[in-house]
Amino acid sequence: MSITAVVLTAGSYGTTWPGLEVLVRRQVIRNAAELQAARFNAVLDVRTSHFFYLDDDDTLPAGHLDVLAECKARAAPLAYTDELVGVEVRKSAPYSQAAHLADPLLVHHLALYETAEARRAVAQLPRGHYCPEIMLAWQVAKRGAAYVPRIGYVWNKRPSGMHNWPSTSLSQMRALLWCKANP
Protein backbone atom coordinates (compact mmCIF):
# COMPACT_ATOMS: atom_id res chain seq x y z
CA MET A 1 0.00 0.00 0.00
CA SER A 2 3.09 2.25 0.30
CA ILE A 3 2.13 3.71 3.70
CA THR A 4 4.28 4.00 6.81
CA ALA A 5 3.13 4.18 10.42
CA VAL A 6 5.66 6.35 12.26
CA VAL A 7 5.90 5.30 15.91
CA LEU A 8 7.82 7.24 18.55
CA THR A 9 8.55 5.26 21.69
CA ALA A 10 10.82 5.40 24.70
CA GLY A 11 10.97 1.61 24.82
CA SER A 12 10.45 -1.21 22.39
CA TYR A 13 7.60 -1.54 19.93
CA GLY A 14 6.80 -5.00 18.66
CA THR A 15 3.42 -4.50 17.01
CA THR A 16 3.28 -5.19 13.31
CA TRP A 17 0.53 -3.93 11.06
CA PRO A 18 0.08 -6.14 8.00
CA GLY A 19 0.01 -4.06 4.83
CA LEU A 20 1.95 -1.19 6.44
CA GLU A 21 5.58 -0.36 6.99
CA VAL A 22 6.33 0.57 10.58
CA LEU A 23 9.08 3.08 11.28
CA VAL A 24 10.01 3.01 14.97
CA ARG A 25 12.00 5.90 16.41
CA ARG A 26 13.23 5.27 19.96
CA GLN A 27 13.65 8.38 22.04
CA VAL A 28 12.66 9.71 25.44
CA ILE A 29 10.44 12.77 24.94
CA ARG A 30 10.49 15.24 27.83
CA ASN A 31 8.84 18.33 26.35
CA ALA A 32 7.05 19.76 23.33
CA ALA A 33 10.24 20.82 21.54
CA GLU A 34 11.63 17.29 21.71
CA LEU A 35 8.31 15.88 20.46
CA GLN A 36 8.28 18.30 17.53
CA ALA A 37 11.91 17.51 16.63
CA ALA A 38 11.30 13.76 16.83
CA ARG A 39 8.15 13.90 14.67
CA PHE A 40 9.67 16.22 12.08
CA ASN A 41 12.98 14.32 11.90
CA ALA A 42 11.15 11.02 11.44
CA VAL A 43 9.54 12.34 8.26
CA LEU A 44 13.00 12.35 6.66
CA ASP A 45 13.32 8.59 7.21
CA VAL A 46 9.97 7.60 5.65
CA ARG A 47 10.52 5.58 2.46
CA THR A 48 6.91 5.29 1.32
CA SER A 49 4.71 7.76 -0.55
CA HIS A 50 2.45 8.33 2.49
CA PHE A 51 2.72 8.15 6.26
CA PHE A 52 0.87 8.82 9.49
CA TYR A 53 1.88 9.07 13.13
CA LEU A 54 0.82 6.24 15.44
CA ASP A 55 1.37 6.70 19.16
CA ASP A 56 2.98 3.64 20.72
CA ASP A 57 0.05 3.08 23.09
CA ASP A 58 -2.70 3.49 20.48
CA THR A 59 -4.13 1.10 17.90
CA LEU A 60 -5.83 1.01 14.54
CA PRO A 61 -9.38 -0.25 14.04
CA ALA A 62 -10.35 -3.38 12.19
CA GLY A 63 -10.51 -2.45 8.53
CA HIS A 64 -7.79 0.18 8.85
CA LEU A 65 -6.34 -0.74 5.46
CA ASP A 66 -9.67 0.09 3.81
CA VAL A 67 -9.77 3.44 5.61
CA LEU A 68 -6.19 4.22 4.59
CA ALA A 69 -6.96 3.24 1.00
CA GLU A 70 -9.91 5.64 1.01
CA CYS A 71 -7.72 8.40 2.44
CA LYS A 72 -5.07 7.78 -0.20
CA ALA A 73 -7.69 7.68 -2.97
CA ARG A 74 -8.71 11.26 -2.12
CA ALA A 75 -5.39 12.29 -3.74
CA ALA A 76 -4.92 15.15 -1.29
CA PRO A 77 -1.62 15.97 0.41
CA LEU A 78 -3.46 15.48 3.71
CA ALA A 79 -6.40 13.18 4.42
CA TYR A 80 -7.75 12.71 7.93
CA THR A 81 -10.44 10.76 9.73
CA ASP A 82 -12.52 10.51 12.87
CA GLU A 83 -11.14 8.67 15.88
CA LEU A 84 -12.41 6.39 18.59
CA VAL A 85 -11.61 7.68 22.09
CA GLY A 86 -12.59 5.02 24.61
CA VAL A 87 -16.14 4.19 23.55
CA GLU A 88 -16.89 7.59 22.01
CA VAL A 89 -16.36 8.60 18.41
CA ARG A 90 -14.63 11.96 18.08
CA LYS A 91 -15.93 13.34 14.81
CA SER A 92 -13.92 15.80 12.81
CA ALA A 93 -15.19 18.04 9.99
CA PRO A 94 -14.22 19.28 6.52
CA TYR A 95 -11.04 21.33 6.48
CA SER A 96 -10.71 25.07 6.44
CA GLN A 97 -8.17 27.26 8.15
CA ALA A 98 -10.95 28.90 10.19
CA ALA A 99 -12.20 25.49 11.34
CA HIS A 100 -8.64 24.44 12.23
CA LEU A 101 -8.07 27.58 14.31
CA ALA A 102 -11.40 27.05 16.09
CA ASP A 103 -10.62 23.36 16.78
CA PRO A 104 -6.89 22.64 17.05
CA LEU A 105 -7.67 18.90 17.05
CA LEU A 106 -9.63 19.10 13.79
CA VAL A 107 -6.78 17.11 12.24
CA HIS A 108 -5.60 14.73 14.94
CA HIS A 109 -5.63 10.97 14.57
CA LEU A 110 -5.51 9.58 11.78
CA ALA A 111 -3.79 12.11 9.51
CA LEU A 112 -2.35 10.59 6.34
CA TYR A 113 0.30 12.78 4.71
CA GLU A 114 1.90 12.63 1.29
CA THR A 115 5.52 12.24 2.31
CA ALA A 116 6.93 14.69 -0.25
CA GLU A 117 4.50 17.44 0.80
CA ALA A 118 5.18 16.82 4.49
CA ARG A 119 8.92 17.09 3.88
CA ARG A 120 8.44 20.42 2.10
CA ALA A 121 6.32 21.65 4.99
CA VAL A 122 8.76 20.50 7.67
CA ALA A 123 11.57 22.38 5.90
CA GLN A 124 9.53 25.61 6.19
CA LEU A 125 8.30 25.26 9.77
CA PRO A 126 10.03 26.82 12.78
CA ARG A 127 11.47 24.50 15.40
CA GLY A 128 10.89 24.71 19.11
CA HIS A 129 8.05 24.45 21.60
CA TYR A 130 5.27 24.17 19.01
CA CYS A 131 2.71 21.41 18.59
CA PRO A 132 3.99 19.51 15.54
CA GLU A 133 0.65 18.08 14.42
CA ILE A 134 -1.14 21.42 14.28
CA MET A 135 1.63 23.12 12.31
CA LEU A 136 2.28 20.25 9.92
CA ALA A 137 -1.41 19.82 9.11
CA TRP A 138 -1.79 23.59 8.65
CA GLN A 139 1.12 23.83 6.24
CA VAL A 140 0.32 20.70 4.22
CA ALA A 141 -3.40 21.54 4.03
CA LYS A 142 -2.52 24.71 2.10
CA ARG A 143 -2.03 22.35 -0.86
CA GLY A 144 -5.21 20.41 -0.12
CA ALA A 145 -6.93 18.42 2.60
CA ALA A 146 -9.67 15.82 2.58
CA TYR A 147 -11.84 14.74 5.48
CA VAL A 148 -12.78 11.05 5.42
CA PRO A 149 -15.69 10.56 7.87
CA ARG A 150 -14.68 7.11 9.08
CA ILE A 151 -12.97 5.88 12.23
CA GLY A 152 -9.33 5.52 11.30
CA TYR A 153 -7.67 5.50 14.71
CA VAL A 154 -8.21 4.24 18.25
CA TRP A 155 -6.87 6.71 20.81
CA ASN A 156 -6.24 4.87 24.07
CA LYS A 157 -6.20 8.16 25.95
CA ARG A 158 -4.30 7.66 29.18
CA PRO A 159 -4.64 9.98 32.18
CA SER A 160 -0.84 10.37 32.29
CA GLY A 161 -0.27 10.97 28.58
CA MET A 162 1.58 13.86 26.96
CA HIS A 163 -1.74 15.53 26.19
CA ASN A 164 -1.88 16.41 29.92
CA TRP A 165 1.52 18.07 30.08
CA PRO A 166 1.47 21.86 30.58
CA SER A 167 4.08 22.13 27.81
CA THR A 168 1.64 20.45 25.42
CA SER A 169 -1.04 23.07 26.05
CA LEU A 170 1.51 25.85 25.63
CA SER A 171 2.87 24.28 22.45
CA GLN A 172 -0.66 24.11 21.00
CA MET A 173 -1.23 27.78 21.75
CA ARG A 174 2.13 28.73 20.22
CA ALA A 175 1.36 26.64 17.13
CA LEU A 176 -2.05 28.30 16.73
CA LEU A 177 -0.48 31.75 17.01
CA TRP A 178 2.06 30.77 14.37
CA CYS A 179 -0.74 29.47 12.11
CA LYS A 180 -2.72 32.70 12.49
CA ALA A 181 0.36 34.67 11.45
CA ASN A 182 1.05 32.37 8.46
CA PRO A 183 -2.19 31.84 6.52
Q: Does 128 have pLDDT greater than 70?
A: yes
CB 135 within 8 A of CB 175: yes
Give pLDDT, residue 169: 82
Q: What residue type is 47 in one-letter code? A: R
Q: What is the mean pLDDT of residues 91-112?
A: 96
Across the range 121-133, mean pLDDT stands at 96
Q: For residue 165, is pLDDT > 80?
A: no
**Structural domains in the chain (count):** 1
Residues 76 and 146: beta-carbon distance below 8 Å: yes
- What pLDDT score was predicted for residue 161? 66
CB contact burial 97-118 (16+ within 10 A = b; e otherwise): eeebeeebebbbbbbbbbbebb
Q: 51: domain CATH number?
A: 3.90.550.10
Domain that holds residue 172: 3-181
Cis peptide before 110 (omega within 30 of 0): yes
Model confidence at 89: pLDDT above 90: yes
Confidence tier at 159 by pLDDT (50, 70, 90)? low
